Structure 1
Amino acid sequence: MMWTVGAGDNRAANRPGPSAGLSRRSFAALGTALGAGGLLSACSSGDEDGTSDTAGGSAQALQFWGWVPGLEDLVETWNAANPDVPVEFHRMTGDDGKKVEAAVDAGAGPDIVQLSTHDLPDYVINERVQAITEYVSDDENLYTPASWKSVIVGEDVYGLPQGSGPTAMMYREDILQQHGIAVPTTYEEYEAAAAALHAADPNVYLAGFSPSEIGQWVQDVSQAGGSYFAIEGQAWDVVVDSPASQEVAARWQRLLDADLVKVTQMWTPDYWAAVNAGQIATITYAAWFPVQLIENCADLSGKWKIAPQPTSGGEAVAGDSGGAANVVLAGATDLEGATKFLRWLNSDPESVTKLISVGGIFPTAKVGFDDPALSETFPYFGDQAIYDVYRDAAETAPTTWTDGPANGQVDADITDGFGKVATGGTTFAQVLTDADAAAVARLQKAGLDVVGG
């Protein structure tokens, strides 16, 4: 019963807060952020109903819903060269993601949709998406290992990855140099640097701890080789409370207990005030985050640099906070044509260039790593070519992360618990234990096969 949900179905929640892809400013916007601010646009384009009617010819147009900027132009390019497989684009806004779920369940959904990879397993379980394995059997080497893994559920491929969130450490070069602290490359050095920095200036912390920012937790567990779920045969294994997760939990617990991290909710005025005041000396996060520093901390230009995310043993491995994929939904009648379009959209060199330069994604297709946009230097970061670091991170992120049923509810359980950790009401380790037990109970109630259940 792995892929079938019973009466206890608990549908996936969207990832909360600013870590959700629709609300992030893209990494490519770094080049223009100082001249034109603003978050990723959620406003529709094309017709007033949000549909861009670019399909030509007499063939039935594939309906494609997505949110990446510039998709309208890419669809027009495709249609001009492929009149036999026309595509009609609709820009997703607001709660369109939930509308897709309801429409598919009613047999009236679009053919193709952009989707958070964290939500993909629920689409598979609820039979809202079609496998495209037979059409992409030779495509694995076109993408980074972690991004390819993100579109696989069980033994089948259910989409093509379009953007990812490899992680690196942004750091205040001036603050570390002022106190004679080397940029940490291992977590042992990281904890030592946190202690030395706070001892030198009690108002300065090496990092912040934001209880609600689940992406930072996911990236650390991902880097450690952990996950929320695993698959054994036809059963789900819940591994929220794994040794890898407990390793990350122990590190954060030591830092918090010693008052070596500043507890503050990311994205709030207080958070940005602390960053601008030099109270937070490093921020470890995904490739889309540097633009946030440019937009919210303009006066700190030239003071930030970017280094690889520290590791437990010094090996070259980075985390990934998650990404997006394009999938073919249940009800689509031209699976081969839809997959042909998606293969072009996500791996053709010219298309990938537009996805980077206009859409602002960090590419999952390796061909995108040669794009000039990823080699640009930025005055804000001391003329550093910062995407050299993120490119290496994308290629070294582990392939161990597996999303599972009601992934968003696991996120919510963890962030709810972390809120209590911040006030001393519980521990990181206990939060993992509780979230693990809750996930097992949800899967069993939904009628899914669970390892040991």
Structure 2
Amino acid sequence: MKRTKVVRFVAGVAAIAMAAAGLAGCGGSSNSASGSNGGKEGDLDAALQKGGTITYWTWTDSAKAQAAAFEKKYPKVHVKVVNPGTGMTVYTKLQNVLKASSGIPDISQIEYQAIPQFSVPGNLLDLSQYGFAKYKNKFVKSAWEGVTSGSSIYGLPQDTGPMVMFYNKQVFDAAGITNPPKTWDEYMQDAKILHEKDSSVYITNDSGQGNFITSMLWQAGSHAYKVNGTNVEINLNDPGAMRWAKNWDYLFKNHYISSLTNQGTEWYQAANKGKIASVVSGSWMAGAFKSSVKETAGQWRVAPMPSYDGKPASANYGGSSEVVLKKSANPALAAAFLRWLNTSQESIDLFKQSGGYVSTKKELSSQEFLNEKSDYFGGQQINKVFLESGKNVVSGWQFLPYQAYANSITMDTVGKAYQGQTTFEKALKEYQKALVTYGNQQGYKVTGK
């Protein structure tokens, strides 16, 4: 069916407060956050020779195998692997041990979006002193940007989640849509076609999760947050944010999007029955499809994320790094382990074997990886789509130094638009007001535009 022109109508919150509470105690500036312990690159090898015990907090499936391989190579070192949970659970526990100055791990896994929450108050070790700048070209650009601020390096990338569109080709074909949408205008037209043909079919689902909204603003070209140490400027009214808001107003006003939550029981049922026609998400979502959307295996395909002008543009949705805590009792040994963990071939291979989507250029561009065909996705070489998406992540995005908190309150503000109580444009303004107020209450110097 030919597309016709469509008119656009066009947590642990208390614990997060502790992050900002640490501003006064740690100096509250980017200078204190990047302060050096006076180390140098040669200290890493010396620390490995001396040995010792370090604690590593992580939720990865490969962690124990990686730690065992490291200990075999460096028998004087013992790595204590602890799984403290994921996401907010980890950050809450980290804030608690930092406040108590007791039980602090040497290394921790942290998502890119949460790094400013710990780096700005000065809780992360600046790894540039150990020569980590040399690894810049080992990782994809968006992942490296996620662990750095200016000349400071707060971690090494582990995985990444470039955004793509997973779509059910059989459902699209049945509606007469022969090609996936390349632009958001086409996407909205397809949403209308699908729903008018069968009112039980939605082009996608979105329940208003904060991290998804953040990534959608990023892809739209918004630069909503500008962070310089403790100085923060918030502009959720910029052109990029308004592009996304106008599109979502149209889609929700016409009931073209389901409010089901990704990877919930009802969502799996709907996806298995062909009621959810597509999902815009990170590359990691391929694993969720394979493991839980089995009834429609072979029907799904992967396409680039629609863009606003037809030119390739994407964002990251998810992805994490490992960092060294500044209060580590043995920072050089911790940094040496981190160096091996995310740069050695042995460790990277173990991570890949566990199903991790790596962030290293070599692995992502290897012919074996790129030419791999996925039976689930109809024999498509999906890794090629993921790689291109990673190359097209919009540059310049910054996260708030209290991003986890920001994500936790979206339903109190932007959620009103999802519920039809207001427009997305107005909801973003309310969201901005809440974020400015909160940031200033926590000791940041926050202004809104």
* SS of equivalent to 2:134: coil
**1:144 maps to 2:125:** no
CA distance in 2, matches of 1:355, 1:227: 33
Query: Which deviates further from its counterpart, 385-394 or 337-346?
Result: 337-346
CA distance in 2, matches of 1:452, 1:429: 15
Q: 1:239 aligns with which of 235, 239, 253?
A: 235
Q: Show structure 1 runs of 5+ residues with no match.
A: 1-7, 14-54
* SS of equivalent to 1:401: coil
CA distance in 1, matches of 2:150, 2:335: 19
CA distance in 1, matches of 2:153, 2:360: 16
**1:193 maps to 2:187:** no
Q: 1:283 aligns with which of 279, 282, 295?
A: 279
Q: State the 1:235 CA deviation.
A: 1.8
Counterpart amino acid of 2:334? A
Q: State the 1:333 CA deviation.
A: 4.2
Closer/same/farther in 2, CA of residues 327 and 228 from structure 1, 3 Å limit:
farther
Please give the TM-score of this superposition, normalised by the length of structure 1. Answer: 0.82
CA distance in 1, matches of 2:72, 2:269: 49
Q: Deviations over 1:316-360 (max 9, x none)?
A: 2212113211111022244333223212211222321211112x2
Q: State the 1:81 CA deviation.
A: 2.5
**1:123 maps to 2:115:** no
Q: State the 1:280 CA deviation.
A: 1.7
Identity of matched residues, %? 25
CA distance in 1, matches of 2:448, 2:268: 45
* Alignment RMSD: 2.6
* SS of equivalent to 2:409: helix
| 2:360 counterpart residue number | 365
Q: Deviations over 1:370-399 (max 9, x none)?
A: 464564322221111212211221222123
Counterpart amino acid of 2:17? N
CA distance in 2, matches of 1:304, 1:219: 23
Number of paired residues? Answer: 403
Q: State the 1:222 CA deviation.
A: 1.8
Q: Deviations over 1:24-72 (max 9, x none)?
A: xxxxxxxxxxxxxxxxxxxxxxxxxxxxxxx998632222221211222
* SS of equivalent to 1:426: coil
CA distance in 1, matches of 2:300, 2:342: 32
Q: Deviations over 1:90-141 (max 9, x none)?
A: 3334745433322233333121111122221121233322111222122211
CA distance in 2, matches of 1:436, 1:57: 51
CA distance in 1, matches of 2:255, 2:58: 43
**1:77 maps to 2:69:** yes
Q: Show structure 2 runs of 5+ residues with no match.
A: 1-14, 21-46
Q: Which segments of structure 1 move beyond 6 Å, counting only runs of 4 or more?
A: 55-58
Closer/same/farther in 2, CA of residues 120 and 56 from structure 1, 3 Å limit:
closer
Closer/same/farther in 2, CA of residues 255 and 399 from structure 1, 3 Å limit:
same
Closer/same/farther in 2, CA of residues 12 and 302 from structure 1, 3 Å limit:
farther
* SS of equivalent to 1:69: coil
Closer/same/farther in 2, CA of residues 407 and 208 from structure 1, 3 Å limit:
same
Query: Which deviates further from its counterpart, 169-178 or 362-371?
Result: 362-371
CA distance in 1, matches of 2:431, 2:243: 16
CA distance in 2, matches of 1:71, 1:9: 26
Query: Which deviates further from its counterpart, 398-407 or 226-235?
Result: 226-235
| 1:442 counterpart residue number | 438
More helix by share: 2
CA distance in 2, matches of 1:322, 1:354: 20
| 2:94 counterpart residue number | 100
Closer/same/farther in 2, CA of residues 229 and 425 from structure 1, 3 Å limit:
same
